Structure 1
Amino acid sequence: MDITIGGLSSQQSGAQSGSSVRSAQSYLPGQSDSEKTGNNSASAFAAATSVSLSSASAGRLSTDQIVSAINESLSSTGLSLGNVDPGEYTPEAVAERILARVGDLIASNAGSEAEARDIFDKASEGIERGLKDAREFLEGLGALNEQINGNITETEERLNEGLKSIEQRLTELYNSSASEEAAEAATPARDEQVLQSQVTQTAQASQAYAEAGTAAQRNAPRYGTNG
């Protein structure tokens, strides 16, 4: 997956938990959090375990867990992905949106390679932990069936591919910058060497030309009468 870094400013809102503050019940069809506030945690989870989650609901839950983990991991930097809504919760859409936001954070906030690597490493750690949390949460709900587990696996693969692309892009960018800086630093010395060489060659050519002229003049025949 090709990732372009740059463009969108991140939200400087600290370690938000994204939309993962939803209760377990909110991922079930038919009711919102506000409609379920009367349920205690035990009854919410008990009811949840008796209902199969739709693929979309499981995708939303997984996304919330991943984003929450990334934001927690980024908390020491003061950065956050904010709330990530991929529109539809397919593995492709979820991975693409999360990776785009990670790239935007790096481009908008990293002033050096060290800062860029720090943001990248923390986001990577958050993604790994978020995927683990999502599986554990769904398993706790009794909803980690083969299809949902397969979707999480595909999301994980797409995220890992995207992270490799971002890391490769960072390496290319900073290696290129280092090469350009080295070239710029070496340019004055190279220019001086070239100029000195040109001066030396010109001087040698002038001297050879003058010596040749003197020899020609010395060997030229003389015309006239003897006195």
Structure 2
Amino acid sequence: MNKLADIRKEYTKGYLQKENLKTSPFQQFNDWLQEALIAQCNEPTAVTLATVDKDLMPNCRIVLLKDVHSDGFVFFTNYNSQKGQELSATNKAALNFFWPELERQVRIRGTIKKVPSLKSDEYFQSRPRESQLGAWASNQSQVVDSSQQLTNQFEQLKKQYEDQSIPRPLHWGGYLLEPISIEFWQGKANRMHDRFQYRLEDNNWIIRQLAP
């Protein structure tokens, strides 16, 4: 059995230089995301979402990025879930993308707000029908008696909406994370990784290199 302390990997697939960075962190992110898609990275839009609860105890989980533009990063979830309650309480969050196939990571910190209802409606209607039913059937983060209870709720809703359009639940929708900082990390040999942080200052993005 391998000792965890002995597990290590040398990063050699790339490098990052300041003169090659885009002036916009969103453009830089989109470039990296496209490269992750081309490289067929596993779940390239999966991102760790970090929040804190009312006692300042941190939580993290994986969500899926569904849009990115000059205002920020968009994902969808149940507003009544644990993460939804924590986002409502603090209006702050962090995201972390990791693409091991490219030896890259992107860290994002910022403030949170709900996207307009129309955008949530549009995305909800684009989802597979089973996913739409799941948003109704699951009281996310709440205690359940059994998996069978969830299955029964799903089947009841399936019959209820048979041959009908499924409306978006009011407790389900999108969030926009408006970043104050975005850091791009490229793994390099000898742990001398390249790290560049874009930080929003007076409505301008300032780029700084950070020690690995």
TM-score (norm 1): 0.24
The structure with more strand, counted as a fraction of residues: 2
More helix by share: 1
Larger Rg: 1
TM-score by length of structure 2 reads 0.25
